[in-house]
Structure 1
Amino acid sequence: MLEPLRQGLPPLDPAAVSSAASCALPARLEAVREARVFTRKTLDQWSIGERFDDVCLVVSELVTNALRHALPAGAPRNPEQAPPVRLHLMRWTERLVCAVRDPSHDSPVACDSEDFAAESGRGLFLVDSFSDGWGWHPLAGTLHGKVVWALFRLPPTS
């Protein structure tokens, strides 16, 4: 699922990931707050809470984009169905990846970095500014949609 992240990261076999957590997010804007709470709790458990501000901003933008742009407009929400958006946090020794999975196959679109007067569209510019890298890729196999991810370098542990 995270093949594009191999560059600059340790091997992606499950044993190489020191910690991982994920949560399903419902198709409503309150899910952004739920994602921030989940991120705070997870980073505190991993003793990397000092990165919360940057990571939280990026998680908020990625989840907001998924909820606004990746879900079909006006589609009825069936509470019996699995939530359409999922947040994944994965930690390696000196790296943290935040990945948001959504059901859309459309590529994320970053706005022109000089168009700050626009009411929306600055989210990916912020993701780019506050993370050490980001990208996206379509899902394969039985999963449909895409994953948009952001990478954070962590200070070496002593």
Structure 2
Amino acid sequence: MNEEAQPPSPRERLYRRERRSVPAARAFAREALAEWGVHERADDVVLCVSELATNALVHGVPPGRGFLVRLLPCGDGVRVEVHDSGDGVPAVPQTDVREPGEGGRGLLLVSELADKWGVGERAPGKIVWCEVGIT
């Protein structure tokens, strides 16, 4: 991130439960990163946003609800949070996801791209987050 007097302000946006929300979340992330002057690993951050938003949309957002994407500067990197109101705790699949078909790759990608990731509590629901270091 740019070494300026003021740290970048956190950004957040609420999305509806609809497929077009995922590309909108990617565009939102790209815009925020560009405003912050983050170029290194920007594609990794955007892909993490995409995968976490997709998981929220498919698994974590009940009908009539939405999800929140929050981007925050964190140390020498960026923290991505996706808040949803669904039950359950996401986990990296333990089965072989190399088989054809959909599903199972999102958190695997996040776990490979991000420096760390996890799940936090929220009432109702959860916050799935990851942090990507920018040097």
Where structure 1 has 5 or more consecutive residues not aligned to the other structure, the ranges are 1-16, 78-82
Kept in 1, the 8 Å contact 2:40–2:134? The answer is no
Counting only pairs closer than 5 Å after superposition, residues 43-82 of structure 1 correspond to structure 2 as 43-72=33-62, 75=63, 77=64
Kept in 1, the 8 Å contact 2:115–2:131? The answer is yes
Q: Runs ≥4 in structure 1, deviation > 3 angstroms?
A: none
Q: Write the distance in 2 (CA, Å) between the matches of 1:96 and 1:21.
A: 11
Q: Does 1:137 align with 2:120?
A: yes
Where structure 2 has 5 or more consecutive residues not aligned to the other structure, the ranges are 1-6
Match of 1:97 in 2: 79
Q: Write the distance in 1 (CA, Å) between the matches of 2:95 and 2:79.
A: 23
Q: Write the distance in 2 (CA, Å) between the matches of 1:125 and 1:52.
A: 18
Counting only pairs closer than 5 Å after superposition, residues 1-158 of structure 1 correspond to structure 2 as 18-72=8-62, 75=63, 77=64, 84-112=66-94, 114-117=96-99, 118-139=101-122, 143-155=123-135
Question: Normalised by the size of structure 2, how large is the TM-score?
Answer: 0.87
Q: Please provide the CA RMSD for this pair.
A: 1.9
User: Which structure shows the bigger proportion of residues in strand conformation?
Assistant: 2
Q: Write the distance in 1 (CA, Å) between the matches of 2:116 and 2:39.
A: 20
Kept in 1, the 8 Å contact 2:71–2:79? The answer is yes
1:49 deviates by 2.6
Local SS of the residue matching 1:24: strand
Identity of aligned residues (%): 33
Kept in 2, the 8 Å contact 1:113–1:122? The answer is no
Q: Deviations over 1:50-80 (max 9, x none)?
A: 32210111110000000000123xx3x3xxx
1:84 deviates by 1.8
Q: Write the distance in 2 (CA, Å) between the matches of 1:113 and 1:125.
A: 11
Local SS of the residue matching 1:49: coil
Kept in 2, the 8 Å contact 1:89–1:98? The answer is yes
Local SS of the residue matching 1:115: coil
Local SS of the residue matching 1:19: coil
